Structure 1
Amino acid sequence: MDIPFADFIRKGPGKISIRYQSIAQRFPVRIIPMTLRVNYCYRIYPDAIQEQTMLHWLEISRKVYNYALREIKDWVNSRKCSLDYCSLQREYIIGADKPFPTYYIQQKALPLAKKEFPQLGEAPSQVLPTTIRRLHDAWNYFQERGFGFPRCLKFAQMKSMFLNSRLIRLQGGKLVCPKSGKYPSISIDLSQKGLRSNRHGY
């Protein structure tokens, strides 16, 4: 017998439907409390100033990505030098006891880097750690496959960044983001019937 899933949803604290009680008597089941999380997708329309701000954040992310990748490359190249001779052009001199620059080591170095380079603090605090995470995801993928070493990103090649959704709120039909202001937006509902859009902020 097929039992509807809705029959097992509690209607409130301490309140259970009559139908649930009758079904529970006939079918002894264990009810596990669940949390339903709904995701929303918004398409934003920034003005010229907001667009330049977000492009500036992407450029900061690109520089952090390339710097972290340079540390990984220098560490790898320092472990490939020959023992019986040195190169006449260049040589990577890194201590043998220096550990590999893992995600946690590079993330821990971000606060010190922000003090030395205040420009890094202009981007939201979630952007740079997730940028380093993306680099190490690519590195781990390279380790699994054995080819496809991560490459440095050229100008405007950083296309996306992560913002903490807890700091983004909807106010008056506009998305309010930290350090950048309000954005007119479109609320996109991805349903089984197709793509439905509702315009907000105008």
Structure 2
Amino acid sequence: MRLSHQYRIKPSPEQEALMLHWLELLRRHWNYALGQRLDYLRRTRCPIDRCSIRSCPIGEIPERPNYYTQARDLKQTKALFPEYKDIYLEVQQQNLMRLDKAWDRWTKPDVTGKRAGRPQFKKTGELRSFTFPRVNCPKAGVHLTDEVIKFSKIGAMPVILHRPIPEGFTIKTATVVHKADGWYVSLSLEDANIPAPMPCDEVKTAVGVDVGLKEFLTTSEGSAVLIQHTYRKAQKQLARQQRKLARQQKGSKNAAKQKKRVALVHQRIQRQRENFHYNTAHQLCSKYDLIAVEDLNIKGLARTKLSKSILDAAWGAFIQKLEAVAVKRGKLVIKVNPNGTSQDCSGCGTKVPKTLSIRTHECPKCGLELDRDINAARNILDRALNTVGLIVSACGGLGVAQPVKQEVSLAIGRSPRQTR
């Protein structure tokens, strides 16, 4: 099992200038190595027995570049540019390894047949991190003792250990990250023990979760979590700071200061959203053994007219955090097909078409009347239970003999109001 803990570090002005210099040199090396790969691709893009209208090989075709050939050329790079000798060797190798992984994600499809986007050339300041692959071993580039961390060729500096490193975990890598409000080190922790997920026959509590824009999520029990609108609340302030940046002369010191103010607004939005997601995920995992969610196509939904609200809610990021929290706590998260969860009746299964503006589900066949989000959450739970082979009532074990009208209560764990 792997965890990642991030701590703030306090470099001196000299150390900060040195790390910024490292980032700039690594950025240039990234761009050069990426250019090598794209040049080889351009030279060899057409078969040898025919000529391409777009391009054809000119001169001798170079050797196919990969991580090993580019890492081998580091010796020549240091001879031509002596300033690269000041960078720890393994940091340069990790920079090339990161490019190699990005290249493979673009050129090689995954198990589903999808490929990531093409690696991009980085502008000044866009490369914001570098990695030391070994920590606290004889030949490591990083040594952490108490509240002091020492980086090879950079020096020792204070680190704020706001939470202790868990017992039994070994520090594998250390990544130095430059953010808008300072410098951080992200430690990758590894433990040989993997928490086993809860067996299906031991599941005692289960819940279905339907995410939305009216409420952030609604459970099959009728409770809900209000949506935060993190970006929309800060939108005016962000626009004001961006207008000030547009008035500054590019490349000036005032422009650099204003760019940092814009970055701080974005960082605050990101941290508020992340904190809300983790708190909600822990609340669900502390109460339920099995959590059913929809397997949503966020990219497709983000192409609609509701794209800003959908991206502000960040359902995909929340589900990823929910899965990570569930793994650490030994709980189950089941993804189900979202098709028809809002249209099908959770009581009898009849398809009841309704537009997005209709917020109440009314079944003409069985007479069930309740909030459409609760109805969708119950359908999600039913599909998840059928997937794992469990038979549990979608209402949390509470049998309902007659049709009821149910409204959403705005707190997890609060029982819904029901009227007959």
TM-score by length of 2: 0.33
Is the contact between residue 58 and residue 159 of structure 1 (CA under 8 Å) also seen in structure 2?
Answer: yes
User: What is aligned with 2:34?
Assistant: 69
User: What is aligned with 2:159?
Assistant: 185
User: What is aligned with 1:12?
Assistant: none
C-alpha spacing 1:136/1:85, structure 2 compared with 1 (3 Å): closer
CA distance in 2, matches of 1:168, 1:85: 50
Q: Which amino acid aligns with 2:63?
A: P
Question: 2:119 is matched with which residue: 138, 141, 150?
Answer: 150
After TM superposition, what 4+ stretches of structure 1 lie above 6 angstroms from structure 2?
37-40
Query: What secondary structure does 1:175 align onto?
Result: strand
Is the contact between residue 41 and residue 189 of structure 1 (CA under 8 Å) also seen in structure 2?
Answer: no
Q: Which amino acid aligns with 1:130?
A: Q
Q: Could you tell me how far 1:109 is from its partner in structure 2?
A: 0.9
Deviation digits for residues 104-162 of structure 1 (CA, Å, limit 9, x no counterpart): 11111111211121111111111111111111100100122345111101101111101
More divergent stretch after superposition (130-139 vs 143-152): 143-152
Q: Which amino acid aligns with 1:120?
A: Y
Is the contact between residue 139 and residue 149 of structure 1 (CA under 8 Å) also seen in structure 2?
Answer: yes
Q: Which amino acid aligns with 1:153?
A: K
* Alignment of 1:137 onto 2:111: no
More divergent stretch after superposition (177-186 vs 142-151): 142-151
Q: Which amino acid aligns with 2:79?
A: K
Q: Could you tell me how far 1:178 is from its partner in structure 2?
A: 1.4
Question: Which residues of 2 match residues 104-123 of structure 1 at below 5 A?
Answer: 104-123=68-87
C-alpha spacing 1:146/1:38, structure 2 compared with 1 (3 Å): closer
- More strand by proportion, 1 or 2? 2
User: What is aligned with 2:384?
Assistant: none
CA distance in 2, matches of 1:71, 1:116: 17
User: What is aligned with 2:197?
Assistant: none
C-alpha spacing 1:116/1:45, structure 2 compared with 1 (3 Å): same
Question: 1:54 is matched with which residue: 5, 9, 19?
Answer: 19
What is the CA RMSD across the aligned residues, in angstroms? 3.2
Q: Could you tell me how far 1:92 is from its partner in structure 2?
A: 6.1
C-alpha spacing 1:146/1:181, structure 2 compared with 1 (3 Å): closer
State percent identity of aligned pairs: 28
More divergent stretch after superposition (136-145 vs 166-175): 166-175
Where does the alignment leave 5 or more consecutive residues of structure 2 unmatched? 167-420
Which structure's relative contact order is higher, taking Cα pairs within 8 Å and 6+ residues apart? 1
Query: What secondary structure does 2:34 align onto?
Result: helix
Query: What secondary structure does 2:120 align onto?
Result: coil
Is the contact between residue 142 and residue 148 of structure 1 (CA under 8 Å) also seen in structure 2?
Answer: yes
Q: Could you tell me how far 1:80 is from its partner in structure 2?
A: 3.0
Question: 1:95 is matched with which residue: 60, 64, 68?
Answer: 60
CA distance in 1, matches of 2:38, 2:155: 38
User: What is aligned with 1:160?
Assistant: 129
Where does the alignment leave 5 or more consecutive residues of structure 1 unmatched? 1-36, 193-202
Is the contact between residue 167 and residue 177 of structure 1 (CA under 8 Å) also seen in structure 2?
Answer: yes
TM-score by length of 1: 0.65
Is the contact between residue 176 and residue 183 of structure 1 (CA under 8 Å) also seen in structure 2?
Answer: yes
Count of residue pairs brought into register by the alignment: 154
Query: What secondary structure does 2:131 align onto?
Result: coil
C-alpha spacing 1:48/1:86, structure 2 compared with 1 (3 Å): same
* Alignment of 1:169 onto 2:133: no
